[in-house]
Each structure stands twice: as structure tokens, then as C-alpha cells.
């Protein structure tokens, strides 16, 4: 069935030539070479594992500050009580089985020139290559009244774990008739559909437990990811009137865009009040969730890997830093235009990066990369939607070549299936990262 097209024929003859020139195939190994990975989240753990899977002769050390990792993905289901916090908790034993040396400690400095990584308690590590995947950091000075201290009582829950538990507790303690205020940040931020999935999951909880309450989204933007599908779902499940952005009586969700008074001006953490919009409306929240604007996590700044945007510019074929040779940045912290900041993106970038690191250690040329992203969002029971994209490197950009949203006319059966596939994605990606 396979046709020998002109292109295949050229490829065939080229590879034949390569073999006859070199005689026996030359297997270069990264023997004795060392890679240090900073950050054991989605990007870091995946890179460490995939380097070892492709070339077990490379010594890989992963340094992560927390002994347990809580996934942000599916953490919105912890908020509504459908899922336990333990079900999103993962450890590092699986990586040990792949021969990754795991060090639980905080990296305090990265010296890109000498390839030295310094930790708080475990001393220094030197490496031939360094991979950095530290995730996002928060701009604590961006919203008046909301800083790191305030987040101890007003959770962002944009890094999962204790923050998720705190927000869940506050939702449980809230009396019926209360208002849950969610403040999504300006772009770019981790997981663009995340705040709206969160609003959906909380609305689902309110509908079943505190039906006189509502969720108010005070948005820093005028539009959002998968907006059409979300608002359709809110209409079907939570009484949302699309024309009125949910201002109608009985809607469990109201969305106030930036241009409609949604832009947060300041927060008062002690009274849980938000001042928003040009008119400086004062809104009293019963539960307040502020998601601050984001930049690359602190260590990326310390290492000098960021540019004026606050994120890390990279070569998109290899994820090698555009600033420092031999240091690679992946995941939320890097600028991977047009890929969004998501777990699937970080995982996909990690595999490209692992291949590039090995190629560079072996003195080989990097092959053509391939990337995929998918974000599932669960709006309610049996109601899942998704956005997906296949990308190719075209010039300086990772360009989308296919994908898109769940069709607007998807049947209830298809949306139910998407929930089961979302859970499957969670099971498979977490195993791919940590297993």
C-alpha cells in the first residue's frame, strides 16, 4: 500500500548513504554526562524521566523543593468536594525507578556560566546541561492590598496543595446566600480556561448545597478561553443568561468583564472587599479568590533567564535559553508562543527538550520537533469540553496546524464522553510524569 513518493525516495536514499559512509551505525552515548533539572513539576519531572528513558547513561538529578506535588489540574474538583486532595498528590518514587536522582530541596541560585546549581541545604551541583521548569511566580505588587501575606487568608489556589484546601474550607463554611468572588488575572497566565472551570465547579457545588449563593467573576479581561462553550454550559446548567453576562435573577454565575466594571483596583483582605471598575464599585465577598498576575517563578529571574516580559525566551526547537547556552527552560516559565501555559504543553515541551539535551550531549543535530496541547474543562456532571492543538515549528513560532474546540453542537453523549476522557487524560499524564 505504501507508495514510494518522491519525498520518501529521497529520504530513503539519503539514509542509505549515511549508513554506507559511516559503515556500522555510530551510537554516541551521553556516558558520564550530567543533567540537573530544577523543579519537579510537570515539565521537570517529564524531562528527567524521558532523558533517562532515551539514554540511561546520562546522570540526571532532579531538584524539587516539595516532597509531594499536587497537580493544579483537577484541583477544581477538590473545591466542589467531588475529589480528595490526596487524589491529586504525587511523589517521586516512580522517577527513582527510572534512575533519576531526586533531591528534595530548594534551589537558591543557578550560575548559568559555570553550570552550577546551589541549594539551601544540600550543597552545590554542577552539570553539563541544566533544565529549568519552575512554573509561575506571582506579581505580588500588582494589586493593591493583595500580597503574599494576604494569600494566607485570601487564597489564590493557583498552586495546588494547602491553598486548594484553604479555598475548599472557606467554601464549605460559607452560609447559603453568600457570594464567591473570583478575580482572574491579565494574560498571560497559567491555564487560561482554569478560572472559568473553577467558576463552573464552584457553581456546581453551590447548586447542590447552597442554591441561594452565587459566583461573581471580576475579570481583568474582556474575553476568555473557550468562552462560547463555557457560557453555553453555564446557560444549560446554572441559569446563566448569555446576553446579560449572568446578571439575571437566578443565575449561579455572573461574569463582569474588564470593560463592564470587572477590573480589580484594590483588595481589602480583612473585610474581604474588592474595589473594581472605573466607578470603583465596592463588592463584599463571602469567599474571595484572587488569582494574581504572573511571571516566571523567582528562580528563573535569579538565574537571569527572563527578559523584560518577566518570562524566559527560548529557542523553540530545543528550549535552550536565548540568554544562556546550555540552560533550557520549559513549561509555564518559558515563552513558547503560540502554546498556552498548560500541563499538556509543559509535558510536550519536556519531551522535545529531553531529545534536544541528549542530542547536544551526544554532539548530534536536533531532529524536527513535534508538539501537542489539550485542555479539558469539566463544567458540570457529564459535561466536558476541550480545546486541542497540533503544532509545528515554523520559523520562530510554534504554529498551530490543527485542532480547535469541542464543536458547539456536540451532543450530550459526546460531552459526557469528554468527562471520561478528561479523567483518562489525568490518569495518563500523571503516570507519564511521575510513574
Q: Which residues bind another protein (CB under 8 A)?
A: 1-2, 7-8, 50, 54, 344, 347-348, 351-352, 355, 367-372, 374, 386, 388-392, 401-404, 406, 410, 413-414, 417-418, 420-421, 423-425, 427-429, 431-432, 435
Q: Does 216 bind ligand FAD (CB under 6 A)?
A: no
d(CA 378, CA 79): 13
Question: CB of 427: closest distance to ligand FAD in angstroms?
Answer: 13
Question: CB of 427: closest distance to another protein in angstroms?
Answer: 4
Question: CB of 253: closest distance to another protein in angstroms?
Answer: 25
Q: Does 133 bind ligand FAD (CB under 6 A)?
A: yes
Decide which of ligand FAD, another protein, ligand HEC, none touches 55; Cβ closer than 5 to 8 Å per partner kind: none
Question: CB of 388: closest distance to ligand HEC in angstroms?
Answer: 5
Interface positions, 164-203, toward ligand FAD (CB under 6 A):
190-191, 194, 198
Paired strand residues for 261 = none
Region of 59-67, 93-101, 242-250, 308-316 interacting with ligand FAD (CB under 6 A): 59-67
Nearer to another protein, 233 or 292 (CB): 233
222-238 in b/e form (b: 16+ CB < 10 A) is eebbbeebbbbbbeebb
**CB atoms near residue 397 (< 10 Å):** 14
Q: Is the dihedral of CA 14, 362, 25, 393 positive or negative?
A: negative
* Residue among 328, 273, 330, 382 nearest 135 (CA): 330
Build a one-symbol-per-residue string for 83-122: x at contacts with ligand FAD by CB under 6 A, - elsewhere. Answer: -----------------------xx---------------
Grid cell for residue 375? 485542555
Nearer to another protein, 269 or 410 (CB): 410
Contacts of 107 (CB under 8 A, 6+ apart): 38, 39, 63, 65, 117, 118, 119, 299
Question: CB of 353: closest distance to ligand FAD in angstroms?
Answer: 11
Nearer to ligand FAD, 191 or 290 (CB): 191
Decide which of another protein, ligand FAD, ligand HEC, none touches 369; Cβ closer than 5 to 8 Å per partner kind: another protein
d(CA 321, CA 81): 41
Sheet holding 59-64, edge to edge: 101-104, 59-64, 34-38, 129-132, 327-329
d(CA 110, CA 124): 10
Count how many Cα atoms sit within 13 Å of the Cα of residue 293 in the half-sphere of its side chain: 17
Interface positions, 340-399, toward ligand FAD (CB under 6 A):
341-344, 346, 375-376
Is residue 36 within 8 A of residue 56, CB to CB? The reply is no
d(CA 75, CA 184): 16
Interface positions, 65-84, toward ligand FAD (CB under 6 A):
65-66, 69, 72-73, 75-76
The only residue of 44, 161, 233, 292 in contact with ligand FAD, by rule CB under 6 A? 44
d(CA 214, CA 344): 31
Nearer to ligand HEC, 140 or 421 (CB): 421
Decide which of ligand FAD, another protein, ligand HEC, none touches 410; Cβ closer than 5 to 8 Å per partner kind: another protein
Q: Is the dihedral of CA 292, 298, 303, 304 positive or negative?
A: positive
Q: Which residues bind ligand FAD (CB under 6 A)?
A: 38-44, 63-66, 69, 72-73, 75-76, 106-107, 133-135, 158, 190-191, 194, 198, 297, 299, 331-333, 341-344, 346, 375-376
Amino acid at each position: 500500500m505504501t507508495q514510494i513518493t518522491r519525498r520518501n525516495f529521497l529520504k530513503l536514499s539519503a539514509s542509505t548513504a549515511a549508513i554506507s559512509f559511516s559503515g556500522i551505525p555510530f551510537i554516541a552515548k551521553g556516558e558520564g554526562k550530567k543533567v540537573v533539572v530544577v523543579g519537579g513539576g510537570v515539565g521537570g519531572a517529564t524531562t528527567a524521566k524521558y532523558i533517562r528513558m532515551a539514554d540511561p547513561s546520562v546522570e540526571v538529578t532532579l531538584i524539587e523543593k516539595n516532597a509531594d506535588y499536587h497537580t493544579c489540574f483537577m484541583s477544581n474538583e477538590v473545591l466542589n468536594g467531588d475529589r480528595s486532595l490526596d487524589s491529586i498528590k504525587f511523589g517521586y518514587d516512580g522517577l527513582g525507578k527510572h534512575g533519576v536522582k531526586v533531591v528534595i530541596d530548594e534551589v537558591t541560585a543557578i550560575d548559568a556560566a559555570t553550570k552550577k546549581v546551589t541549594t539551601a541545604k544540600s550543597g552545590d551541583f554542577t552539570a553539563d546541561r541544566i533544565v529549568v521548569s519552575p512554573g509561575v511566580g506571582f506579581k505580588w505588587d500588582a494589586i493593591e492590598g493583595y500580597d503574599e501575606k494576604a494569600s494566607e487568608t485570601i487564597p489564590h489556589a493557583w498552586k495546588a496543595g494547602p491553598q486548594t484546601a484553604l479555598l475548599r474550607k472557606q467554601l464549605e463554611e460559607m452560609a447559603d446566600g453568600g457570594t464567591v468572588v473570583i478575580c482572574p488575572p491579565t494574560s498571560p497566565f497559567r491555564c487560561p480556561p482554569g478560572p472559568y472551570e473553577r467558576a463552573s465547579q464552584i457553581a456546581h457545588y453551590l447548586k447542590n448545597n447552597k442554591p441561594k449563593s452565587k459566583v461573581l467573576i471580576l475579570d481583568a479581561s474582556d474575553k476568555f478561553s473557550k468562552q462560547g462553550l463555557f457560557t453555553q454550559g453555564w446557560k444549560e446548567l446554572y441559569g446563566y443568561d448569555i446576553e446579560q453576562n449572568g446578571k439575571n435573577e437566578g443565575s449561579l454565575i455572573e461574569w463582569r468583564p474588564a470593560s463592564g466594571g470587572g477590573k480589580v483596583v484594590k483588595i481589602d483582605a480583612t473585610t474581604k472587599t474588592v474595589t473594581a471598575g472605573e466607578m470603583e464599585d465596592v463588592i463584599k465577598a463571602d469567599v474571595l479568590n484572587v488569582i494574581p498576575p504572573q511571571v516566571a517563578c523567582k528562580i528563573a529571574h535569579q538565574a537571569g533567564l527572563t527578559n523584560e516580559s518577566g518570562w524566559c525566551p527560548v529557542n523553540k526547537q530545543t528550549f535552550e535559553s536565548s540568554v544562556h547556552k546550555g540552560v533550557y527552560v520549559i513549561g509555564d516559565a518559558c515563552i513558547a508562543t503560540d502554546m498556552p501555559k498548560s500541563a499538556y504543553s509543559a509535558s510536550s515541551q519536556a519531551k522535545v527538550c529531553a531529545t534536544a539535551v541528549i542530542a547536544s550531549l551526544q554532539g548530534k543535530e536536533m531532529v524536527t520537533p513535534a508538539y501537542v496541547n489539550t485542555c479539558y474543562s469539566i463544567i458540570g456532571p457529564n459535561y466536558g469540553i476541550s480545546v486541542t492543538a497540533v503544532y509545528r515549528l515554523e520559523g520562530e513560532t510554534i504554529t498551530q496546524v490543527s485542532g480547535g474546540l469541542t464543536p458547539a453542537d456536540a451532543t450530550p453523549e459526546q460531552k459526557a464522553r469528554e468527562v471520561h476522557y478528561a479523567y483518562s487524560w489525568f490518569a495518563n499524564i500523571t503516570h507519564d510524569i511521575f510513574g
